[in-house]
Structure 1
Amino acid sequence: MNNISTQSPHSSRAAVSIFFLIHGINLASWASRIPDIKAAMDINDAQMGTLLLVMPISSLLGLAASSWILRSFDNKVPLIVAMIAQSIALACIGISSNLIALGSSLFFMALAFRVGGIAMNTQAVILQKSYAKPINGSFHAMWSFGGILAVGLTSLMIALDVPMHTHLIWTSVCIGIFAIVCYPWLPSGDRATEGSKIKMGKPDKPLFLLGVLILLASFCEGGMFDWSGVYFKDIVNVEVYTAGYFTFMICMTIARLLLDKLIAHIDNKKIYIGSSLLIVGGILLAVLLPNLIPAMIGFSVVGMGTAVVIPTTFLMAGDSKKYSAGMAISIISSYSVVGMLFGPPLIGFISEAFGLQVSFLFFALMGLLILPVSLMYFHAVKRQG
């Protein structure tokens, strides 16, 4: 790894935080409009699930290129390119008039999310190494805060009857401007010079188990992003269907703001156990009592449970003995892609067969599995020495 160059540690941290923020705004802006997209395209849950399949297919294409990207560029370069591409894709989603145009827009958005996510998380993990206290949780809190802003804005747009295309186009313009303005303050010189090639041979069991943890958490997180609005509209029967998504994102942000302090005082094993129990309990509450208040409380609890799994897992992956921080994050990000993007289509298919309420029990199962897999990880690390 080359020597990292920054304008100042504080300005670089602020710049990376802004990129996490606008990344979250982008994802939540389109996800919170899914009920409107379904209505505009006149499609059912299974058809929506099929449409969402283009995103994991696109995103996984980026994995083959990740090794070359990490060796060829400072992470700030693919990050700015991906962020601009995301903003353009968001605008295209807003103006799509048919399924082919919408599917193409989702395809390019997912590809940009993949590249940008790897670059962004790599910069965060590398910056963490230059700080004595934990800061990684604060980056992911900014991502969640971006989601809160986006969902709040969507709720306002719905209340004011602002057309979806107007909302998404102006959001994309603002995202692009923020990305360009903050770009000069991103850290430079973080190009990986070693450990950025996939090594054949015996699999790295701890890294594999971290990937599975990311997979399980991403199934829950991605599914809640894409289906919480539909759940509140169709099952809870509320007019402002973003209510559940909004409380989910608020509690996720609060938990991530507290994560750095949690890491300093509680070992990671207890963090995973607590997260598993919160996800299961929150989903069961929302499914068994599908009324406004219980469902909002349940979604809030799920938000707290899912919040800390992904940032904690990325941070531990950055300490891999076999790969550079960027390559380790790229590897487990492939699991994140599978969970975040295959999960929502799967929920659509289950919903069409058994009903949306029953399909949400899938999230409870994924949350429950976090417990044994995390224990297997810590056992594997202990044996590895």
Structure 2
Amino acid sequence: MQLIQKQRVFLSVFFFLSGFNFSSWASRIPTIKQTLDLNEAELGTILLTMPVSSLIGVPLSGWLVSKFETRIPLSVGFLLNSIALSFIAFASTPVMLSMVLFLFSLSMRIFNISVNTQAITLQKQFDKKINGSFHGLWSTGGILGVGFTTLLISFDVPMVPHLITVSIISVLATVYSFRYLLRNDQSASGSKLTFKKPDPYIMYLGLLVFFAAVCEGGMFDWSGIYFQQVVKEDLFTVGYLTFMAFMALSRFVSDSFIDKLGMATTYMLSGVFIFSGIALAIVFPSFWPAMIGFSLVGFGTASVIPMTYTLAGASKTYSPGIAISLIATFGIVGMLIGPPMIGYLAHAFSLKTSFIAFALSGLMLIPIAKLFFKMDRTEEETFVAEAKEVA
């Protein structure tokens, strides 16, 4: 096997395991809520720890990917994340859980910036689009993670052996896979942030990630509870599993889908799918309508972040690592606002009513995408005109 193919395979391993680890935690949230006797507002406050920690990790991540080979912060971040995952099972108080989630989220941010920087760099060595498939593997890992959790819950297996097992597998995989990651990928330029007028290219991409993160992060944290409390489904993980399954399916076909329809149209369709799916689950809060609705939301959210990170790699101002770090900041703010906001709205009104926020966030993708591609097209036309004048 050629080196470039090995690099793709082992980078895929990290995307897969990252999804598996995250869904292992997320699908245990209803259990944790019940064990610690938390109401929706209290759970929302604890979940606030994760985006705050991620926000702190953004400048650190940007510095690490510009200072070192990205395989170093990638591997160290994933090792810490895997260890923190096992600690979640031992958190017996809200304070302990918040502390563990802080480490879990901080290490996940370092890993995410690093692994996506590697993916964008590797993408440039291929003639065809491959970035969507990486994110598809993340979602596939998420599906198998929630499926595995569902199986364990059905057999009354507690969290401690569950999360420790996942942690050990991840640590061993990291140690083995490290040697096959990209080397010497530090950027020669664009690796420093400067204080100046905001770059509209990054700003629009950041807003797209922000609203996608509100939807995606909120679905990760609240889909299981929605099925438990609103749909009244005993096997509550089925809602989260449906969302993840259709998000994975969409990500595997998104590269060819984008080639045929273009990114602009794909963003528009993403917004329509998210809005329609949430509306269906709210208006008809029973099993099958909610399942169909969550599948539409999975389709809608799937392509946004892979597309946006790919566009970030084309920034004329920043290196891929710094561009992704900047755009990830918007995503973190979305996660900062989304899940806790749903908790507070659910506490004040109802969980079903609070999901309207997801529908509106999905709808916002449409005007922002239109503004971005209008601006990008104008800049390209200006560049061509200037080139002709010089000629």
**TM-score, normalised via structure 1 length:** 0.97
> CA deviation digits over 1:56-77, x for unaligned, max 9?
1111111222342122210000
Query: Who is 2:368 aligned against?
Result: 373
CA distance in 1, matches of 2:290, 2:321: 38
Structure 1 gaps of 5+ residues are 1-5
Paired with 1:137 and 1:342, the residues of 2 have a C-alpha distance of 26
Aligned partner letter, 2:358: F
**Which residue of the other structure, out of 94, 98, 114, is the alignment partner of 1:103?**
98
1:275 to 259, 266, 270: 270
The 10-residue stretch of structure 1 (7-16 or 333-342) with the greater mean CA deviation from structure 2? 333-342
Point out the more displaced range, 135-144 or 96-105: 96-105
Contact 2:70 2:114 in 1 (8 A): yes
* Match status 1:87 vs 2:106: no
> 1:320 corresponds to which residue?
315
Amino acid aligned to 2:354: S
Which residue identity is paired with 1:301? L
The answer to whether structure 1 residue 38 and structure 2 residue 33 are counterparts is: yes
Whether 1:64 and 2:64 are equivalent positions in the alignment is no
Q: State whether residues 65 and 73 of structure 2, in contact with CA within 8 Å, keep that contact through their aligned partners in structure 1.
A: no
SS at match of 2:153: helix
In 1, the alpha carbon distance for the partners of 2:323 and 2:59 equals: 14
Aligned twin of 1:334: 329
Per-residue CA deviations over 1:184-230 (Å, capped at 9, x if unaligned) read 11111111232111122121102100000000001100000000000
Contact 2:84 2:104 in 1 (8 A): yes
In the alignment, does 2:288 pair up with 1:293?
yes
1:20 aligns with 2:8: no
Instruction: Give matches, 1:206-217, under 5 Å.
Output: 206-217=201-212
Mean alpha-carbon deviation: is it higher for 28-37 or for 186-195?
Answer: 186-195
Q: Is the 8 A contact 1:7 1:185 kept in 2?
A: no
Q: CA deviation at 1:53?
A: 1.1
Residue identity in the other structure for 1:251: F
Residue in 1 that maps onto 2:182: 187
Aligned equivalents of 1:68 and 1:118: distance in 2? 11
Among 346, 350, 360, the alignment partner of 2:345 is: 350
| Contact 1:287–1:360 under 8 Å retained in 2 | yes
SS at match of 1:95: coil
CA contact (8 A) 1:222 1:341 kept: no
Shift of 1:7: 6.8
Q: Which residue of 1 aligns with 2:137?
A: 142
* 1:201 and 2:159 matched: no
2:261 corresponds in structure 1 to: 266
Q: CA RMSD in A?
A: 1.1
Total equivalences in the alignment: 380
Matched, 1:125 2:100: no
- Alpha carbons of structure 1 residues 77 and 20: separation in structure 2 relative to 1, 3 Å: same
Residue 89 of structure 2: SS of its match in structure 1?
Answer: helix
Deviations 1:71-103 (A, max 9, x none): 221000000001010111110101111111111
Q: Which residue does 1:309 correspond to in 2?
A: 304
Structure 2: distance between partners of 1:220 and 1:67: 25
Measure, in 2, the Cα distance between the counterparts of 1:71 and 1:246: 36
In structure 2, give the amino acid aligned to 1:342. I
Q: Kindly report which structure 2 residues correspond to 1:216-227, keeping only aligned pairs within 5 A, or say none.
A: 216-227=211-222
TM-score norm. by structure 2 comes to 0.95
Q: Whole-Å Cα distance in 1 between the matches of residues 321 and 66 of structure 2?
A: 10
Match of 2:148 in 1: 153
Deviation larger for 194-203 or 233-242: 194-203
- 1:325-357 superposed Cα distances (whole Å, 9 cap, x missing partner): 111011001111111343111110111011000
Per the TM alignment, residue 359 of structure 1 is displaced from its structure 2 partner at its CA by: 0.5
Matched letter for residue 44 of structure 2:
G
Counting aligned pairs with the same residue, the percent is: 45
Contact 1:76/1:188 (<8 A) preserved: yes
1:247 aligns to 2:245 (yes or no): no
| Bigger mean CA deviation after superposition, 346-355 or 257-266 | 257-266
**Contact preservation (8 Å) 1:252, 1:303:** yes
1:3 counterpart residue number: none
Query: 1:234 corresponds to which letter in structure 2?
Result: Q
Distance (Å, rounded) in 2 between the aligned partners of 1:338 and 1:89: 22
